Amino acid sequence: MEMKVGLEIHVQLKTKEKLFCKCSSEYRDKKPNENICPICTGQPGSKPMNANLEAIKNLLKIGLILNCEIVRERIRFLRKHYFYPDLPKNYQITSEPIMKNGNFFGIRIREIHLEEDPGRYDLRNGYVDFNRSGIPLAEIVTEPDFNSIEQIEDWLDKFYTFLKFSNSIVEDPGSIRIDVNISTKGERVEIKNVTGIKNVIKAIKYELLRQERSLKIGKEIKRETRHFDEEKKITVPLREKEYVEDYRYIPEPDLPSFKINEELINEVKKDLIIVSEEEKKLKEVYKINEEYIKKIIKNPVLLISINKIFENVKKDFNKIAELITDYVYPICGDKNINLLNLLEDNNFLENLEEIVENLDKIDRKKLREIVEVLISGKNPIEYAKEKNYFLEGVSEEEIKKVIEMVINEEKEAIEDYKKGNAKAINYLIGKTIQKLKKRVDVKIIDKFLREFLSK
Amino acid sequence: MITKEILSEAISNPIDHFEKIRKEIEKREKEVKSFITLNIDSAEKEVKEKKVGKLSYLIISVKDNILVENLRATAGSKILENYIAPYNATVIEKIKKEGAIIIGKTNLDEFACGSDGTNSAFFETRNPFDLERVPGGSSSGSAASLAAGFCDLSLGSDTGGSIRNPAAFCSLFGFKPSYGLVSRYGLIDLAMSMDQIGPFAKDTYGIALLLDVIHGKDEKDATTVNKRFEFVKRVENFNEKELKNRKIAYATEFLEYCSEDIKKRFFDVLNYLSNFGIEIKEISIPEVNVAVSTYYLVVSSEFSSAMQKFDGLKYGVRIENKDLNETILLSRSLLGKEVKRRILIGTFVTSREGYGKWYKIAMLVRNKIKQRFYSIFKDFDYLVSPTMPVKPWKIGEKKEPIEMYQMDVLTVLANLAKIPAISIPVDKFIGFQVMGKYLEDEKLLEISKIIEEKFNIWK
Say which amino acid occupies B224.
Answer: T
Query: Does A256 contact B313 at a Cβ distance shorter than 8 Å?
Result: no
pLDDT given for residue A446 in this prediction: 84
Q: pLDDT for B257-293, tens place per residue?
A: 999 999 999 999 999 999 999 999 999 999 999 999 9
Number of Cβ pairs closer than 8 Å across A and B? 98
Chain centroid to CA B364: 26
> In angstroms, rounded to a whole number, what is the distance separating the alpha carbons of residues B188 and B117?
17
The percent of residues above 90 in pLDDT, for chain B, comes to: 97
| Mean pLDDT of the region A414-420 | 82
**ipTM entry:** 0.96
Q: Which comes out higher in pLDDT, residue A31 or A427?
A: A31
Q: pLDDT for A270-300, tens place per residue?
A: 878 888 889 999 999 999 999 999 999 988 8
| Mean pLDDT of the region B221-227 | 98
Q: Does A83 touch chain B (CB under 8 A)?
A: yes
Q: Does A23 touch chain B (CB under 8 A)?
A: no
Contact predicate B113/B339, CB 8 Å: yes
pLDDT band of residue B166 (cuts 50, 70, 90) is: very high
Strand, helix or coil at A412? helix
Whether the pLDDT of residue A448 is over 90: the answer is no
Across chain B, mean pLDDT equals 97
Asked whether the bond before B139 is cis by omega within 30 degrees of 0, the reply is no
Q: Give the list of residues 6+ apart from residue A373 with CB closer than 8 angstroms, or none.
A: A379, A380, A383
Q: pLDDT for B118-138, tens place per residue?
A: 999 999 999 999 999 999 999
Whether the pLDDT of residue A232 is over 70: the answer is yes
Sign of CA dihedral B262, B265, B271, B272: negative
Give the chain A residue nearest B87 (alpha carbons): A38
Q: Where are the alpha helices (DSSP H) in A70-110?
A: none
> In angstroms, rounded to a whole number, what is the distance separating the alpha carbons of residues B287 and B301?
20
Facing residues of A195 across strands? A177
CA dihedral in degrees (A370, A372, A378, A381; nearest 10)? 10
Q: Model pTM?
A: 0.90
Question: Which of B73, B191, B359 shows the shortest C-beta gap to A44?
Answer: B73
Whether the pLDDT of residue A393 is over 80: the answer is no
Q: Where are the alpha helices (DSSP H) in A92-196?
A: 149-165
Sign of CA dihedral B55, B57, B59, B64: positive
Q: pLDDT for B64-91, tens place per residue?
A: 999 999 999 999 999 999 999 999 999 9
- Residue A315 CB coordination number (10 Å): 10
Question: Which of A45, A91, A248 shows the shortest C-beta gap to B351?
Answer: A248
pLDDT given for residue A298 in this prediction: 87
Q: Minimal Cα–Cα distance from A247 to chain B, Å?
A: 8
Give the chain B residue nearest A244 (alpha carbons): B352
| Catalytic residue list of B | 63, 138, 162
> In angstroms, rounded to a whole number, what is the distance separating the alpha carbons of residues A138 and A145?
20
β A99-104/A69-70 pair status: antiparallel
Question: Which of A42, A254, A256 shows the shortest C-beta gap to B309?
Answer: A42
Q: Where are the alpha helices (DSSP H) in A179-239?
A: 197-216
Side-chain half-sphere CA neighbours of A69 within 13 A: 7
> Which chain A positions have a beta carbon within 8 Å of B328's beta carbon?
83
Whether the pLDDT of residue A23 is over 90: the answer is yes
Say which amino acid occupies B238.
Answer: F
Q: Minimal Cα–Cα distance from A32 to chain B, Å?
A: 14
| Mean pLDDT of the region A398-421 | 83
Q: What is the DSSP string of A361-409?
A: GB-GGGHHHHHHHHHHTS-HHHHHHHTT-B-----HHHHHHHHHHHHHH
Select from A231, A180, A230 the least CA-distant residue to A208: A180
Whether the pLDDT of residue A155 is over 90: the answer is yes
pLDDT band of residue A243 (cuts 50, 70, 90) is: low
Q: Does A174 touch chain B (CB under 8 A)?
A: no
Q: Give the list of residues 6+ apart from residue A127 with CB closer than 8 angstroms, or none.
A: A32, A121
pLDDT given for residue A242 in this prediction: 55
Contact predicate A299/A161, CB 8 Å: yes
> In angstroms, rounded to a whole number, what is the distance separating the alpha carbons of residues A285 and A278?
10
Whether the pLDDT of residue A422 is over 80: the answer is no
Q: Does A248 touch chain B (CB under 8 A)?
A: yes
> Which chain B positions have a beta carbon within 8 Å of A119's beta carbon?
none
| Mean pLDDT of the region A223-232 | 89
Question: Which of A39, A42, A47 shows the shortest C-beta gap to B184?
Answer: A47
pLDDT given for residue A240 in this prediction: 54
> Which chain B positions have a beta carbon within 8 Å of A39's beta carbon?
220
A169 phi and psi, to 5 degrees?
A: -125, 160
> In angstroms, rounded to a whole number, what is the distance separating the alpha carbons of residues B108 and B115?
10
Whether the pLDDT of residue A78 is over 90: the answer is yes
Whether the pLDDT of residue B3 is over 80: the answer is yes
Query: Does A48 contact B222 at a Cβ distance shorter than 8 Å?
Result: yes
Contact predicate B193/A252, CB 8 Å: no
Side-chain half-sphere CA neighbours of B238 within 13 A: 25
Give the chain A residue nearest B86 (alpha carbons): A38
For helices A53-65 and A149-165, angle between their N-to-C axes, nearest 10 degrees? 130
The percent of residues above 70 in pLDDT, for chain A, comes to: 98
Q: pLDDT for A288-335, tens place per residue?
A: 999 999 999 988 889 989 988 998 888 889 999 999 999 999 999 999
pLDDT band of residue B364 (cuts 50, 70, 90) is: very high
> In angstroms, rounded to a whole number, what is the distance separating the alpha carbons of residues B387 and B376?
19
Mutate to test the interface with B, among A90, A92, A129, A258 (most CBs of B within 10 A): A90
pLDDT given for residue A399 in this prediction: 82
pLDDT band of residue A423 (cuts 50, 70, 90) is: confident
Query: Strand (E) positions, B305-429?
Result: 382-386, 421-427
pLDDT given for residue A450 in this prediction: 83
Q: Which comes out higher in pLDDT, residue B206 or A224?
A: B206
How many residues appear in chain A?
455
Query: Does B222 contact A79 at a Cβ distance shorter than 8 Å?
Result: no
Query: Strand (E) positions, B320-386?
Result: 382-386
pLDDT band of residue B337 (cuts 50, 70, 90) is: very high
Query: Does B305 contact A81 at a Cβ distance shorter than 8 Å?
Result: yes
